[in-house]
Structure 1
Amino acid sequence: MDSIAKRLHEAAIIIDAVCPLLDDTSTISAYRTGGLTAIAPTVGAWYGAGATLRTVGLWQKLLRERDDLILVRTAADIRQAKRLGKIGIILHFQGADPIEDNLDLIDAFKALGIGIMQLAYNVKNRIGDGCEERTDAGLSRFGLQVVERMNQTRMIIDCSHTGVRTTMDAVEHSSAPVIISHANAKSVHPSPRNISDELIKAIAENGGTIGVVGFPGFVSSDKRPTIDQFIDHIVHMCDLVGTQYITLGIDYYNGQFPYMDDATSLKEYEKLIANNSWSPEAYPEPPHFYPAGIETPKTLLALTEALLRRGFTADDIRKIYGENLIRIYETIWGGEAELR
């Protein structure tokens, strides 16, 4: 089994679609050790255009200086990264604050390589409601315009952290598939950040994908969730809509164990609670231990081994690891790589 898993893991295109751990760019090496083909740093979240532009600039500089990295603008860029033994960098926003109230900033950021934007981050914004907001309103008039402009610029609409009605409105009004890059099944573990079977079906029926997330509070009520509890979410969603709609958005972040000491992690957590970015109901107090065996990106081979033990075929695993997202990227971004 180990040798079969290792060969499969090494041959597969593996995409982790949500990687806030990359706020510290030195952690790229951990993803390389874990066999990742493409990774997605969060380059925009709670800040306006100016601060976000500085972060994008830092990544563009890194991409210019490092020959082992490739900026992903098309699906073919990921396949090229795999062929060349490099790592693809997918720039995305977790929230729409970077576009402020200006639709033209969508065009600007897409030109700079931002391929994906979340519509909200837990709370209400100009576009619509977050998933932890007191209300559950749909898209605003501005939100409808944002969806239309994202379609026009071929920027992927991500409804992670987004309210149910806002998400359903995005699915209805978007001319392209809508994704949820990272959320688990509420029927497996009832976190406010997880999503219902109805929503999972709606995303799949629209041609989108749902990424399974490793943040412990979204996996189970256990302080140290097991790898099988993580896979329970994959099994449930695959049984519900099929393996072709499930992906990975593990969401390793710099406040988790072992990247931050417990005292500092608690201070950072309290700030997030105080400013309403997080709620105690969805985000338990740290330390945050990711599922046993895949506590960090370095050991992602353990997931391949565990999925095989649970009866997933090699074809299933290749779809979940990369091919399903590549289908989305080809549909929305296009398939041809840029000349290099």
Structure 2
Amino acid sequence: MSQSATELHNSAIIIDAVCPLLDDRERIADYQAGGVTVIAPTVSSLENAETTLRTIGAWHKLLRERDDLMLIRTAADIRRAKAAGKTGIIMHFQGPGAIEDSVDLIDAYKVLGVGIIQLAYNLKNLIGDGCEERTDAGLSRFGVQVVERMNSARIIVDCAHTGVQTTLDAIKHSSAPVIISHANAKSVHPSPRNISDELIKAIAENGGTIGVVGFPGFVSSDKRPTLDQFIDHIAYMGDLVGTQHVTLGIDYYTGQFPYVDDAIAMKQYQQYLAEGIWTAKAYPEPPHYYPAGIETPKTMPALTKRLLERGFTEADIRKIYGENLLRIYETVWGD
């Protein structure tokens, strides 16, 4: 990597906003090795409140025990973490199971440090429809209450994995910018989990951001997507709505290559299909190889090098890596 790319990577605030790989907390070291400033473990998805509280408690214990980690509650916390050489932790829900049927739980989670809640995970729930549901009916009345309470509690509304109409309804009813933490451009690769130009524009027009994903089935039809195919989604969305609306939500996870044996990955995959959480159309069979060059978080500097080679400016890279999400965090959480 060139000196300029190295300097840029080391000095930039880098936020990977979707990190289910951190179900294995030993993998924090992989993100640190790759120079990532802030990581967002998936502390809940479809799990109920009791299970989620146990997970949040375990994270707080880890944060208390490790001086190299820092809970992120505000945008200023991220700047402090960068200056101190610490790794910031943002608690992220990849689904609203933990809300159950009580909007009051939203306030409780905010106090515990939860900063972002996703409204659906592919399926229908009490709030609205997921992106792979048979219907797309939009927000329920309860869903409107959830969005309004999230606004009041200053939790970011995330519409990744969420149906189109549910997302548009969330934008309509939210007083703060709505984001899509991780989704690629359907015009670049037509996965059911990717989003249309219209939805990309709607998120941008409401002041939100879209995080580019490395999960291979969302990048291309190739079993082993290239780094350029990943960057193609960044370039496309940047050309469509401006790089100020593009972020990273790479979505490294414990079931990917090289973190798990192929047989175990396949067993987990078959379970997800049987439970209806995933569909074969959106999620190809494992092994899941992330884009060549950034197969794991350890190798993130390769992305900086290639973005520069592709003609992205240092200013654009800094925005995509962290400044765009910092803007959202300042708006919703405060500074």
Give the TM-score range, shorter chain: over 0.9
Deviation at 1:316, TM superposition (A): 0.3
**1:131 aligns to what SS in structure 2?**
coil
SS at match of 1:328: helix
Distance in 2 (CA, whole Å) between partners of 1:16 and 1:296 is: 12
SS in 2 for 1:225: coil
Query: Which residue pairs with 2:331 in the alignment?
Result: 331
DSSP 3-state at the match of 1:115? strand
Deviation for aligned residue 1:241: 0.3
Q: Is 1:131 matched with 2:131?
A: yes
Shift of 1:174: 0.2
Partners of 1:331 and 1:142 in 2: CA distance:
25
Report the residue type matching 1:302 in the other structure.
A
The separation in 1 between residues aligned to 2:99 and 2:172, in whole angstroms, is: 22
Aligned match of 1:21: 21
Q: Match of 1:2, as an amino acid?
A: S
SS of the residue corresponding to residue 157 of structure 1 reads: strand
| 2:173 equivalent in structure 1 | 173
Report whether the alignment pairs 1:215 with 2:215.
yes
Q: Which amino acid aligns with 1:183?
A: A
Post-superposition offset of 1:81: 0.4
Q: Percent identity?
A: 74
Matches within 5 A, 1:182-261: 182-261=182-261
Equivalents in 2 of 1:11, 1:155: separation in Å?
28
The 2-side partners of 1:4 and 1:252 are apart by 27
Gaps in structure 1 of 5+ consecutive residues:
336-340
Misfit runs of 4+, over 2 Å:
none
Q: Which residue of 1 aligns with 2:144?
A: 144
Q: Secondary structure at the match of 2:116?
A: strand
2:206 counterpart letter in structure 1: N
Distance 1:174 1:45 in 2: 21
Give the whole-Å Cα distance in 2 for the aligned partners of 1:259 and 1:80: 31
Q: Separation in 1 of the partners of 2:257 and 2:46?
A: 23
What is the SS of the residue equivalent to 2:27? helix
Q: How far does residue 82 in structure 1 lie from its aligned partner after superposition?
A: 0.2
For the residue of structure 2 that corresponds to 1:161, the secondary structure is: coil
Per-residue Cα deviation, 1:68-113 (whole angstroms, up to 9, x for no partner):
0000000001000000000000001000000100010000011000
1:272 is aligned to 2:272: yes
Q: Give the residue type in structure 2 aligned to 1:308.
A: L
**SS of residue matched to 1:70:** strand
Q: How does 1:49-198 map to 2 (within 5 A)?
A: 49-198=49-198
Matched residues in 1 for 2:272 and 2:127: separation?
21
Q: Secondary structure at the match of 1:211?
A: strand
Deviation of the 1:3 alpha carbon: 1.1
Q: Flag structure 2 segments of 5+ consecutive residues without an equivalent.
A: none
Q: Normalising by structure 2, what TM-score?
A: 1.00
Q: CA deviation at 1:2?
A: 1.4
Distance 2:14 2:80 in 1: 13
Counterpart Cα distance in 2 of 1:129 and 1:308: 39
Q: 1 CA distance for matches of 2:58 and 2:313?
A: 40
Write out per-residue CA displacement over residues 286-322 of structure 1, whole angstroms, 9 at most, x where no aligned residue.
Answer: 0000000000000000000110011000000000000
TM-score normalised to the size of structure 1? 0.98
> How many residue pairs are counted as aligned between the two chains?
335
Q: Counterpart amino acid of 2:71?
A: L
Q: Paired residue for 1:5?
A: 5
Q: What is the Cα-based RMSD across aligned positions, in Å?
A: 0.5
Cα deviation digits, residues 214-261 of structure 1 (max 9, x gap): 000000000000000000000000000001000000000000000001
Give the secondary structure class of the aligned counterpart of 1:274. Answer: helix
What SS class does the counterpart of residue 62 from structure 2 fall into? helix
Q: Please state whether the residue corresponding to 2:105 is helix, strand or coil.
A: helix
- Aligned equivalents of 1:57 and 1:271: distance in 2? 27
- C-alpha separation in 1, matches of 2:4 and 2:224: 28
Q: Distance in 2 between matches of 1:323 and 1:301?
A: 18
Aligned AA (1:231): I
- Which residue does 1:338 correspond to in 2? none
AA at the equivalent of 2:158 = D
The amino acid that maps onto 1:318 is: R
Q: 1:62 & 1:234 partners in 2: Cα distance?
A: 34
The 5 A counterparts of 1:31-50 are 31-50=31-50
CA distance in 1, matches of 2:279, 2:207: 31
